[in-house]
Amino acid sequence: MKNHEVRAESSPEARIEPYKHPAAGWGALKYVALNLLKEKVAGGNYRTLLKQNQPDGFDCPGCAWPDREHASTFEFCENGVKAVAAEATGKRVTPAFFAEHSVAELMTQSDFELEQHGRLTDPLVYDALRDRYVPIGWDEAFELIASHLKRLDDPDRAAFYTSGRASNEAAFLYQLFVRMYGTNNFPDCSNMCHEATSRGLPHTVGIGKGTVTLDDFEHADTLLIFGQNPATNHPRMLGELRECAKRGATIVSINPLKERGLERFASPQHALDMLSPNGTKISSVFIRPKVGGDFALIKGVAKRVIELDDEALASGLARVLDVDFIAEHTVGFDAFADDLRAERWDTIVAEAGVPLDDVLKLADIYVKGRAVISTWGMGLTQHKNSVATVQLLSNLMMMRGNIGRRGAGLCPVRGHSNVQGDRTVGIEEKPTQAFLDKLGATYDFEPPREHGLDVVNTIQAMLDGKVKVFIGLGGNFSIATPDTPRTWDAMRACDLTVHVTTKLNRSHLVHGRDALILPTLGRTEIDLQNGVAQGVSVEDSMSMVHISYGMNKPASDNLLSEVAIVARMAQATLGSGKVDWLAHAANYALIRDGIAKVIDGFDDYNERLKKPGGFHLGVASRDRVWKTPSGKAQFIAHAIALDTPIHLARQQYGERLMTLMTTRSHDQYNTTIYGLDDRYRGVYGQRRVLFANPDDLAMLGFAAGQRVDITSVWADGVERRVDGFLLVEYDIPRGCLGAYYPETNPLVPLSSVADGAGTPTSKSIPVLLTASAVEAATAAVAVAL
Ligand SMILES: Nc1nc2c(c(=O)[nH]1)N[C@H]1C(S)=C(S)[C@@H](COP(=O)(O)OP(=O)(O)OC[C@H]3O[C@@H](n4cnc5c(=O)[nH]c(N)nc54)[C@H](O)[C@@H]3O)O[C@H]1N2
Ligand SMILES: Nc1nc2c(c(=O)[nH]1)N[C@H]1C(S)=C(S)[C@@H](COP(=O)(O)OP(=O)(O)OC[C@H]3O[C@@H](n4cnc5c(=O)[nH]c(N)nc54)[C@H](O)[C@@H]3O)O[C@H]1N2
Ligand SMILES: [Mo]
């Protein structure tokens, strides 16, 4: 095994077997029952699951999809149950476990195995002599961090990562500590996720957030779902889509794959769905661009809207464009329209990878809609041209005034449950000067003014010896990130790596010279400070902010809350001259008072959180207030790029060059592997699979069931390869491949990022396939597709 390879996991039952049922349904119920038994949820207290997303319960640590009133009857969600059960597991990783297992030995375990060991119980420090993690006292741990941070000749030599589960309170205190320490180096998971949304939308509509609330879903007549797999990643969204479908709304899925949950859904909350073999039909139309084809597709739709408007004008019919909206609220339309008129249809069709008829059909559906919502996920954001794509989509919506109107709007669907909130409260490597001014004035210090490092630039800075200390508030940095071998070299070159974490993961094992594991409370657990239960607040994907109280007994008596860890790290490093860190950790309301002073929209924060369901933060673009330099929403013309790394590689290798997208299976939460099945895509007991079009397999001279090695094409002379992937025939457009993340992250070059967002291009990797020498882990893999 090469030094960056993780053992491939597969079970004796490994097989490929197409799934023929609606999404959710009985399969999901069965899963939930099995899961509860398997995880031995602490204390057998299954009420935990019923308190998920209830007004007096905790916010589901699964996804960022909002809840109805945050108070509906228990919203059933298979993957929410998995997330909760994983945190509430009765299994423990104690110091005795680490005494038995060296780091080298743990490195041979798969991510699935690491996850199975359970919750971490005590703070640990790496002992190089014995290659083991050994117990350390909390005070000593914070002293070690402080001594490293104080020793650095420049605060910019440290980087402070955040994963999107951190609460507003933990995140705000963290950024305050880090900025008082002196840097804006805040790499965070959103750099790899919806960054194209957050960086792209401010230029068109003035703010990098969605404009809809759940209420709008009740009034929409048309939904365009771009590059998203809700049945797996946002299961509660299916409930919303089901209602829309029942009402007769047109739902279009724009996705290279025909994802099951977008076809049919059997809602466990509706007996009729469960009794019928087909559930509820969700999408009426599937448009299937090639991977990375969305920009050209949307441009084609926008061009057609102009044509239809021209036709309407010529024949004296009602305009297709919302001319009033365009005149009153926007700038740049003429140049935008000229660019669309000049765009060639053959370029659009070739680059979108769909027939012209599909473009026209989508345009027809779009213009018939009186209230259109566009939602999007990672299928749009993890490409080189993602910023342009998100901007174009918002422009398409602006053409017919579909922003800031009831039942219409932009709906980026975020991933982590508080990833949006973390950014709102200051986890931002490129802060505005106005924010820094307010932060500095409130806490009486001069914040660092220069922009800091994002995820990719942090890894590069570590490789260049410029960043020596890494601190991670949650997440799994070493394996969620691209270019795994280089990232591991980077982490191993650090003087200190620190992980605030709930469960053992790969990042703890790929560590710096000194290394700490700091175990923390999960969101499901009771957080007592001085005998008083503390709540934390989070912001969902639709800008609803609400409070969350844990209700389980903590996994161990020796855990600290994230807030307490941040406060004590700050206290040890900076002392209490300017901020009484420990007082903030004793009463989170003080942190919220700080948020209210510094961040717009949080006035009376503590009071407003008392309302069940919380409050809407307010999104200016929703009210048709445009926070752009011109004060108007902006149309921006972008050309269809014909010189992307995919184009260049294809010029070199011809049709053998494939575009690989990396995606999530049904049994994982990002890098947390719950199981080895991907039920809706028919994969069981394994993860090292590669979905390919049968015609491509024939063209390449391969057959389903054969194993291949995958090599990326990148012009820096570095070999990027992963071995032994099982070829699975799949209904995927020609020239495209699909595989799971994180197994394929070694293929994503560090320098391959979205223009203007820095997001690794993990959904468009140029690759070549070769027959593999790797023995099939399971000899008899039945390929039934
Ligand atoms: N259970 C569970 N829930 C999760 C997560 C999890 O791992 N497990 N992760 C959370 C996080 S952090 C996030 S960001 C979200 C992610 O949720 P999603 O955005 O759904 O993420 P993915 O599964 O990566 O891929 C999304 C879809 O993009 C499609 N796609 C790939 N390439 C293209 C393309 O070029 N164009 C188009 N139109 N589509 C494309 C794929 O076929 C797939 O259906 O989910 C969150 N929720
Ligand atoms: N190739 C490829 N790469 C990708 C993606 C892709 O689609 N393809 N998706 C990207 C996306 S969208 C994202 S968001 C990133 C995800 O990147 P990360 O957010 O870094 O990764 P996660 O797997 O979500 O982190 C899981 C770990 O978080 C810790 N954890 C869980 N709950 C808590 C908690 O309450 N507190 C603390 N402190 N720790 C906790 C546990 O130790 C767990 O192992 O990955 C990105 N990487
Ligand atoms: Mo994400």
* pLDDT tens track for 8-25: 667 777 898 887 777 766
Q: Are 194 and 201 in contact (CB under 8 A)?
A: no
- Could you tell me the two tokens for 31? 């899963």
- What integer pLDDT is reported at residue 5 of this predicted model? 56
Residue 125 is predicted with a pLDDT of 98
Give residue-wise pLDDT tens across range 264-311: 776 666 666 665 666 777 778 999 999 999 999 999 999 999 999 999
How many Cα atoms occupy the beta-carbon half-sphere of 161 within 13 Å? 28
Which of 228, 298, 414, 744, when mutated, tests ligand 1's pocket best, judged by the most ligand atoms within 8 Å of its CB?
228
Q: Is 193 in the pocket of ligand 1 (CB under 6 A)?
A: yes
Q: Does domain 645-784 have CATH number 1.10.3720.10?
A: no
Q: Are 778 and 724 in contact (CB under 8 A)?
A: no
Closest CA to 145 of 516, 561, 581: 516
How far apart, in whole angstroms, are the C-alpha atoms of residue 374 and residue 507? 36
| 669 Cβ below 6 A of ligand 1 | yes
Dig out the tokens for 646 from the structure: 């995919």
CB contact at 8 A, 78 and 28: yes
Predicted local confidence at residue 114, as pLDDT: 96
748 lines ligand 2 (CB under 6 A): yes
* Residues at Cβ < 5 Å from ligand 3 ion: 193, 415
- What stretches of 325-431 adopt beta strand conformation (E)? 330-331, 372-376, 409-412
CA–centroid distance, residue 414 to ligand 1 (Å): 10
What is the CATH code for 39-193+418-599? 3.40.50.740
Position 257 scores a pLDDT of 96
Round to whole Å and give the CA distance between 665 and 738.
Answer: 11
Is the whole model's pTM more than 0.85, yes or no? yes
CATH class in words for 197-412: alpha beta
User: Cα separation of 126 and 105, whole Å?
Assistant: 14
> Which is nearest to 714 in space by CA: 674, 756, 747, 760?
747
Does 560 contact ligand 2 (Cβ within 6 A)? Answer: no
**Burial of 494 per CB tally in 10 Å (0-12, 13-18, 19+):** buried
The neighbour count for residue 44, using CB atoms within 10 Å, is 9
Q: Which residue has the tokens 């607040």?
A: 537
Q: Which ligand is nearest to the CA of 679?
A: 1
Tokens found for residue 245: 């479908």
In DSSP notation, 134-153 reads: EE--HHHHHHHHHHHHHH-S
- Give the number of the atom of ligand 2 that is nearest the alpha carbon of residue 523: 35
> Facing residues of 689 across strands?
726
* Paired residues of 709 in beta bridges: 770
The reply to whether ligand 1 has any atom less than 6 angstroms from the CB of 168 is no
Nearest ligand 1 atom to the CA of 662 is: 24
Number of Cβ atoms within 10 Å of the Cβ of 13: 11
Question: Measured over all CA atoms, what is the biggest interatomic distance in the chain, rounded to whole angstroms?
Answer: 83
277 half-sphere exposure, CB direction, 13 A CA radius: 2
- Is the pLDDT at 779 greater than 60? The verdict is no
Quick: pLDDT tens for 549-599. 998 899 999 999 999 999 999 999 999 999 999 999 999 999 999 999 999
pLDDT confidence of residue 259: 86
- For residue 74, pLDDT over 50 is answered with no
The neighbour count for residue 1, using CB atoms within 10 Å, is 10
pLDDT in tens, 658-693: 999 999 999 999 999 999 999 889 999 999 999 999
Smallest-distance ligand from the CA of 740: 2
581 C-beta closer than 6 A to ligand 1: no
CA 274 to chain centre: 30
Q: What average pLDDT does the chain have?
A: 92
- Count of Cβ atoms closer than 10 Å to residue 526 Cβ: 14
Lowest mean pLDDT among 43-52, 205-214, 309-318, 591-600: 43-52
Extended strands (E) in 607-764: 615-616, 633-634, 658-663, 668-669, 672-673, 683-686, 689-692, 707-712, 721-729, 736-740
Q: Where are the domains of the chain?
A: 39-193+418-599, 197-412, 645-784
Q: Ligand 2 center to residue 160 CA distance, Å?
A: 15
State the pLDDT at residue 279: 74
